[in-house]
Structure 1
Amino acid sequence: MSARLQELQSEFGLVERRLGDPAALADGREYARLTRRHRELLPLVTLLREREGLEGDLAGARELLTDPDMQELAAGEVAALTARLAEIEGELEVLLLPTDPNDAKDVILELRAGAGGAEAGLFVMDLLRMYTRYAEGLNLRVNVLDANESDLGGASKVVAEVTGDHAFRAFKWERGVHRVQRVPATESQGRIHTSTVTVAVLPEAEQGEVQLDLSEVRIDVFRSQGAGGQGVNTTDSAVRAVYRAGTPDEIMVVCQDGRSQIKNREKALVVLASRLAERERAARDEQERHERASQVGSGDRSEKIRTYNYPQNRVTDHRLEGDDKNHPLDSVIEGALTPVVAALARTEKERQLVEMAAQDGAGPQDGPGRRGQHGAA
């Protein structure tokens, strides 16, 4: 671990020097990358500097153990310093765990009504409001790119962009099927209905990440539409981008947020590239799952990740256990998702630590090399 820590500390120094370089300041993309990397490495370097100072203090306290007049005081200081150094080692171990290379990216968020008809469409909009408030609390911005709204106030599909610092890290746990149990406003008998909404969270593709052949993309322009078919624009500014139309690989993207056809076209192509990148990632993940299952068997859970039970005012995340599993619905639906997300992130870190310990126990050839993936973003 020490060699990797030294490597990251050296990288931090290099990043700091580059941030002071006028050439980096003149390149907006490079400056943003350096700033992000500096922010990622700062907690680790801060801990290393604290550890270095504490190690010096510990050496001095141990010297005082030979002084009869200072022995008792020195013993207490040695115990406190030793305990804090042990805590720092644990914190450093967590910081060295592999990171998701997509964490810092912006997000394409897609909500689609599933089972439940009109009630599912209403819950699409409830989730959109929840995510918008959650994002606002994190200083992230949500911009709706396309929405198939109904006269009842619901939507069969919503596509939105979430931008800001580490948007994907904040939203990546939302992927999957969300189930709602409640009495619809139109239900005269007071019966509880169950509906579902599927949430997709796509890391926005960066320039050059996906080679999109524009000769395979058909661009259509049309007039933007509002709820119930009412026109919201008098110009043909909405854009539909269709990739490999009429083939099994077809992907269709609609963007009608902006009044500029050019901006809508650019955003539609970004969403299209993000979906292509996600398709490629999914194919790789599926292959890895098949290979893993052949060795250890499948441990996948149901697609359903979370249930929103209105009569019991409870949100249950099915990926969690114990006290972390259930949360008050009235606060979560208002955007207080942070406790749920924090529990999911903590569970993932614990899983990674268990895997790391198992790899370390497998032999020196399987150990430290696994820890060199920190900060792959």
Structure 2
Amino acid sequence: MILDRLNFIENKYEELSVKISDPSIMANQKEWQKLCKEHAELETVVNEYKQYKSVIEEIESSKELLSEENDPDMKEMIQEEIKELTAKEQELENNLQILLLPKDPNDDKNVFVEIRGGAGGEEAALFASNLFRMYTRYAENQRWKVELMSSNETDIGGLKEVVFMIKGVGAYSKLKYESGVHRVQRVPDTESSGRIHTSTATVAVLPEVEDVDIDINEKDLRIDVYRSSGHGGQSVNTTDSAVRITHLPTGLVVSCQDEKSQLKNKEKAMKVLMARLYEMAEQERMAGIAEDRKSQVGTGDRSERIRTYNYPQGRVTDHRIGLTLYKLESFLNGDLDEMLNALITYDQSEKMKAMGNSSEF
């Protein structure tokens, strides 16, 4: 019963409120900070629950008044008040159900985003470049920091692949739905007949992994260093600063050449490798939880076509939730909130359905 859970959370919150005010606990800064974090995580739920209980009390009080009232005008006024309070009750119930959904432990983490040109040759690489710009603009709008890890450009400004990191609170919670195949339909600049071409790019969004999340044996790594280069093979560095790390058991290869320092490139490459290994482990784990997987927006599979960007019609369509927005230009300029919020709402709704009766008050 959801009310039992809410009462437990409220009691826990009150206990923590006492503890974090205790001078003996405050003396142990590490323990105190841990309790403060737990207290803060419960605060939103508790405040919403207190408001819910207050509304319930108001409804009961209004119903009592209604049963005792004889004046028709007053009765009508009280009935209208009960109607408004009941609507508020439903809204708060919905909010509480969402707040009680299992939290993704990665939601607050920074992310690595990998974009690779797919089918379509040079046009696919140009589309990958458009997507890189789109996510960069979105990150700037959110006041998040973007850090380039590695990139492989074409001669005319496209990107065969690019890996970058987005640092910001909640980055993964917003961007985790972006993994998959993105498709573009447009007339390429090189197309003289004006024929529409279809190209694709794959996007993978990986949460940043702490060292404690995954263990890598140094003996399983082959590390190669080489000189970084720009398009056309031109040397942009006279020292062997670029780093390529191969994880021998899985065959995963990560390269990084963005920094002038070999050490910094190695650190960046290791971060990306850990994120990819973590993703592999998560996919294996989720493969065994079929029902949970069905309740989520897509599978996060890089081979799943998730969205189409149609230039002639100025629209962007997300195939998982059937949402079409006719604002392609602003979308490609980083105006992603409407789409991302719709994906989050849909995901929450599906998870609430999967919870069934356990989510009823």
On whether the aligned pair clears a TM of 0.5, the verdict is: yes
Is contact 2:20–2:35 with CA below 8 Å preserved after alignment? no
How many residue pairs get aligned? The number is: 349
Of the three residues 181, 189, 214, the one matched with 1:210 is 214
Matching residue of 2:115: 111
Equivalent-residue separation in structure 2 for 1:335 and 1:18 (angstroms): 44
Tell me how far 1:280 sits from its aligned partner: 1.1
Matching residue of 2:148: 144
Of the three residues 214, 223, 230, the one matched with 1:226 is 230
State the one-letter code of the partner of 2:47. Answer: T
Task: Kindly provide the CA deviation profile for residues 113-135 of structure 1, in whole angstroms up to 9, marking residues without a partner as x.
Answer: 11111111111110000001111
Is contact 2:16–2:35 with CA below 8 Å preserved after alignment? no
Equivalent-residue separation in structure 2 for 1:186 and 1:32 (angstroms): 58
SS in 1 for 2:162: strand
Against the structure 1 CA distance between its residues 83 and 317, is the aligned structure 2 distance closer, same or farther, given a 3 Å change threshold?
closer
Of the three residues 79, 84, 91, the one matched with 1:87 is 91
Of the three residues 157, 161, 171, the one matched with 1:157 is 161
Task: Kindly provide the CA deviation profile for residues 264-290 of structure 1, in whole angstroms up to 9, marking residues without a partner as x.
Answer: 222211111111111111122233349
SS in 1 for 2:161: strand
Is residue 355 of structure 1 aligned with residue 359 of structure 2?
A: no
State the one-letter code of the partner of 1:332. Answer: F
State the one-letter code of the partner of 1:229. Answer: G
Equivalent-residue separation in structure 2 for 1:309 and 1:203 (angstroms): 29
SS in 1 for 2:113: strand
Output the aligned Cα RMSD: 3.2
Equivalent-residue separation in structure 2 for 1:185 and 1:220 (angstroms): 39
Matching residue of 1:255: 256
Matching residue of 2:308: 307
Is contact 1:239–1:265 with CA below 8 Å preserved after alignment? yes
Matching residue of 1:346: 345
Is contact 1:106–1:204 with CA below 8 Å preserved after alignment? yes
Matching residue of 1:274: 275
Is contact 1:18–1:24 with CA below 8 Å preserved after alignment? no
Output the TM-score relative to the length of structure 2.
Answer: 0.85
Of the three residues 78, 98, 102, the one matched with 1:98 is 102
Between 1:181-190 and 1:8-17, the stretch displaced more is 8-17
Is contact 2:286–2:293 with CA below 8 Å preserved after alignment? no
SS in 2 for 1:104: coil
Is contact 2:116–2:202 with CA below 8 Å preserved after alignment? yes
Matching residue of 1:285: 286
Of the three residues 131, 136, 140, the one matched with 1:127 is 131
Is contact 1:181–1:307 with CA below 8 Å preserved after alignment? yes
Task: Kindly provide the CA deviation profile for residues 16-54 of structure 1, in whole angstroms up to 9, marking residues without a partner as x.
Answer: 677776567669xx959965x666544322211212333
SS in 1 for 2:280: helix
Task: Kindly provide the CA deviation profile for residues 238-273 of structure 1, in whole angstroms up to 9, marking residues without a partner as x.
Answer: 2221111xx6x2111112233333222222111111
- 5+ long unaligned stretches in structure 2: none
Tell me how far 1:165 sits from its aligned partner: 0.6
Tell me how far 1:213 sits from its aligned partner: 0.6
Between 1:279-288 and 1:304-313, the stretch displaced more is 279-288
Against the structure 1 CA distance between its residues 219 and 17, is the aligned structure 2 distance closer, same or farther, given a 3 Å change threshold?
farther
Equivalent-residue separation in structure 2 for 1:252 and 1:161 (angstroms): 17
Tell me how far 1:145 sits from its aligned partner: 0.2
Is contact 1:238–1:255 with CA below 8 Å preserved after alignment? yes
Against the structure 1 CA distance between its residues 165 and 222, is the aligned structure 2 distance closer, same or farther, given a 3 Å change threshold?
same
Between 1:225-234 and 1:104-113, the stretch displaced more is 225-234
Against the structure 1 CA distance between its residues 353 and 330, is the aligned structure 2 distance closer, same or farther, given a 3 Å change threshold?
same
SS in 1 for 2:289: helix
Percent identity between matched residues is 42
Tell me how far 1:139 sits from its aligned partner: 2.0
Is residue 237 of structure 1 aligned with residue 236 of structure 2?
A: no
Output the TM-score relative to the length of structure 1.
Answer: 0.81
Equivalent-residue separation in structure 2 for 1:236 and 1:39 (angstroms): 48
Equivalent-residue separation in structure 1 for 2:163 and 2:305 (angstroms): 20
Matching residue of 1:4: 5
Between 1:277-286 and 1:253-262, the stretch displaced more is 253-262
Matching residue of 2:192: 188
State the one-letter code of the partner of 1:310. Answer: Y
Matching residue of 1:51: 52
Tell me how far 1:343 sits from its aligned partner: 1.4
Equivalent-residue separation in structure 1 for 2:19 and 2:109 (angstroms): 22
Equivalent-residue separation in structure 1 for 2:34 and 2:314 (angstroms): 42
Equivalent-residue separation in structure 2 for 1:253 and 1:18 (angstroms): 46
